[in-house]
Amino acid sequence: MTIKEIAKETGYGISTVSRVLNNTGSVSAKARKEITAVIEKYHFTPNVNAKHLKMQVNFGIAVIVKGIENMLFLELTEAIQQKVRANGYECLTYYIDEDGDEIAEARKIQVERRPYGFIFLGADANIYHRRLEIKDLNVPCILITDNSVTFGIGNLSSIGIDDSLAAANVVDYLYRHGHTKIGIIGGNPDKSNPSRMRLEGCELAFIKHDIDFDIEKQYSASRFSLEGGYKAAENLLDKFPDVTAIFAMSDIMAIGAMRAIYNSGRKIPADISIMGFDGIELARYVHPRLTTVRQNVERMAERGTEIMLECIKNPTEEIHEVVSFSMIEGSSVADIS
């Protein structure tokens, strides 16, 4: 079934059928109705290859996920895919390693597929230094779970929570429960924007509460994965043995850390308290239940995709939004005050 056959059956020309299909240009109500009827009768779907060939665009929207081991991204990816497809775009997801080069990947995809836009999950701090490369992608891009508000690249939007504030809240929470010997595990602050912002938030809170913090001793960087959390916690317990509470910058790291804590013979939360970050479903199931910061995933996925669609329509736009977070109390933090 092609547009030509639809045209023949309705008695209109292919141009008019195309206009109806794309809801563009002016078509009489009568023509629209008749043509729509035939389209529906045959469940006709236009050939995307012909369409894209003509429009010089290869594909829908590309989603580049950096660090698939971080389950937060899984929840996000799922929601984004659904929303993108519901809006009539194809959605291609590319998984790259947490230490991979998402911009190089995007450039490759750009050459091969020419998507309408790129959605990045989990991007680097070095985005700023590579803003020309992003500009060169020449289509709307959005960073989800990050904040590029200061970048001013022109085609890079962003959406995420206020990482600094959320992390400060974590420290406040631990402080209220009597903890002052706090260790932190997270990503490399020089490479991961969210890690840097969260670390800054913690430092502000430490100052506020007059808590000592020696980054060398009390911060351990690793990957956002189970194994990463495990190793970072092992390392932290080693160099900061009197720690009473650990803040993990992702739930998946927290769960990895819990294993390390158990393996060291300590109890949670009796010996060591732990807090996570993200609020993934799993956090409510592990033992003990994880106290964590929930990022508003649904909202990030929904608005992130909407922003992408808006920017595709109006390529000169650049939108930055901040979504909410909330604290979820589990039973992984002991009150030692």
Partner DNA sequence: CTGAAAGCGCTTACAG
Residues forming the site for a second copy (CB under 8 A): 43, 45, 47-50, 52-53, 58, 68, 74, 78, 81, 90, 92-93, 95, 111-113, 226-227, 230, 255-256, 258-259, 262, 281-282, 284-287
Kindly tell me which of 6 and 248 has the beta carbon lying closer to DNA. Answer: 6
CB 78 within 8 A of CB 84: no
Q: How far is residue 223's CA from residue 221's CA, in Å, rounded to a whole number?
A: 7
Among DNA, a second copy, none, what binds residue 12 when CB lies within 5 to 8 Å by partner kind? DNA
Q: Could you tell which of DNA, a second copy, none binds residue 286, using a CB distance below 5 to 8 A set by kind?
A: a second copy
In our burial notation (b when 16+ CB lie closer than 10 A, e otherwise), range 90-108 reads bbbbbbbebeeebbebbee
68 contacts which partner out of DNA, a second copy, none, CB within 5 to 8 A by kind? Answer: a second copy
Q: 3-state DSSP call for residue 247? A: strand
Minimum distance of DNA from residue 26's CB (angstroms):
2
Between CA 20 and CA 43 the distance in angstroms is 14
Query: Looking at beta carbons only, is 14 or 282 nearer to DNA?
Result: 14
Q: Which of 15, 138, 326, 331 binds DNA (CB under 7 A)?
A: 15
Question: How many residues are there in the chain?
Answer: 337
Q: Is 21 in the site for DNA (CB under 7 A)?
A: yes
Q: Count the Cβ atoms, other than its own, within 10 Å of residue 27.
A: 19
Q: List binders of DNA among 26-85 (CB under 7 A).
A: 26-28, 30-31, 46-47, 50-51, 53-56
Q: Of 196, 157, 174, which Cα lies nearest the Cα of 314?
A: 157
| Phi and psi angles of residue 2, each rounded to the nearest 5 degrees, phi first | -130, 170
Note whether 13 binds DNA by CB under 7 A: yes
d(CA 133, CA 204): 34
Residue burial 176-198, b: 16+ Cβ < 10 Å; e: rest: ebebbbbbbbbbebeebbbbbbb
Q: At what angle do helices 3-10 and 14-22 cross, to 10 degrees?
A: 110
What is the gyration radius of the CA atoms in the chain, in angstroms? Answer: 24
Q: Which does 92 bind (CB under 5 to 8 A by kind): DNA, a second copy, none?
A: a second copy
Q: Which CB atom, from 55 or from 215, has the smaller least distance to a second copy?
A: 55
Applying CB under 7 A, which of residues 8, 9, 14, 74 lies at the interface with DNA?
Answer: 14
Residue 16 interacting entry, from a second copy, DNA, none, C-beta within 5 to 8 Å by type: DNA
- With CB under 5 to 8 Å by kind, the binding choice for 327 among DNA, a second copy, none is none
d(CA 119, CA 74): 14
337 touches DNA by CB under 7 A: no
Q: Cα dist. 122→29, 73, 102, 193 in Å?
A: 47, 8, 9, 9
Provide, rounded to whole angstroms, the least separation between the CB of residue 223 and a second copy. 13
Least CB distance from residue 62 to a second copy, whole Å?
11
Nearer to DNA, 55 or 215 (CB): 55
CA distances from 49 to 89, 115, 236, 270 (A): 13, 13, 54, 61
Q: Does the protein bind DNA through residue 114 (CB under 7 A)?
A: no
Which of a second copy, DNA, none does residue 95 bind (CB under 5 to 8 Å by kind)? Answer: a second copy
Rounded to whole angstroms, the Cα distance separating 51 from 81 reads 21
Nearer to a second copy, 254 or 319 (CB): 254
138 binds, among a second copy, DNA, none (CB under 5 to 8 A by kind): none
Rounded least distance, CB 28 to DNA, Å? 3
Binding site for DNA (CB under 7 A): 2-4, 11-16, 18-19, 21-22, 24-28, 30-31, 46-47, 50-51, 53-56
